[in-house]
Structure 1
């Protein structure tokens, strides 16, 4: 288990290999972001994207799943204060494989049993960034 004291500015973790499917893109979009370029292949062809693309919210959610499975599950996570910045950089398409990189930008021990760790998460497809966010994670201290 990794605690606040174990995290240092500059630490990097790379993880994940999540294959994005057409069905998943459409299912997510039908429920949460039903814009034509997410749910209708013909309409998507006529869009500026030139084909079906995942919702940016879906892309962030897929990266969040990889973050939980590959990093937070081994961390004394106590949630987060929020996301300072979220940017969708490039579209994600059916058949793409997402990977992630997490870098510690700042640490603040604060008072009490939980510290704040500011991380930057970047999601990639074929080495190119597709989503990025900066978040303030709450992490339990080993010895408060």
Structure 2
């Protein structure tokens, strides 16, 4: 059943999905998009402030966005998203080591249809990626345009 703008209520929270970043994925992503030594080289990483190889925050964001899209927006009870508008308040709270199990949670923060596409309204999704101890490793506020039922 499709969820439209009218169906989404601020304050609603969802556990969306889990993911794990493997060492080979971390290194491959870093080599292509974020070539800092502590993302690509274990020896250099051991001498960094992190003390070990860690995932690029951009990698964590990209995978979290994929999980958000596939397991929430396009899931069985999918959301009628028309498109994204932006990401605000992006923060990386803790480094992500290879093999860490991460969970994506989503809270609907706000909605508004002022100055929006005539067929939709803005919905702000607070996304939190947490480690196995429930501690946030990344948070952001993602704004999408969600189709109205009447469109």
Query: What is the TM-score with the length of structure 2 in the denominator?
Result: 0.92
Q: How far, CA to CA, are the matches of 2:83 and 2:55 in structure 1?
A: 26
Superposed, 1:71-82 pairs within 5 Å as 71-73=72-74, 74-82=78-86
Distance in 2, Cα, partners of 1:50 & 1:69: 33
Aligned to 2:50: 49
| Gap runs ≥5 in structure 1 | none
Distance 2:44 2:33 in 1: 18
Moved more, 42-51 or 11-20: 11-20
SS of the residue aligned with 2:69?
helix
- Distance in 1 of aligned mates of 2:85 and 2:5: 15
Question: Deviations for 1:42-80, whole angstroms, at most 9, x for unmatched residues?
Answer: 100000000000000001111111101111111111111
Number of paired residues? 144
Cα drift, residue 109 of structure 1? 2.3
Distance 2:11 2:64 in 1: 20
> Of residues 109, 123, 138 in structure 2, which corresponds to 1:131?
138
Q: Following the alignment from structure 1 to structure 2, what is the Cα–Cα distance between the partners of residues 104 and 71?
A: 12
What do residues 4-42 of structure 1 show as CA deviations (whole Å, max 9, x unaligned)?
111011011112121210000000000000000000001
Counterpart CA distance in 2 for 1:54 and 1:139 is 31
Which 4+ runs in 1 deviate beyond 4 A?
A: none
Which consecutive unaligned segments of at least 5 residues does structure 2 have?
none
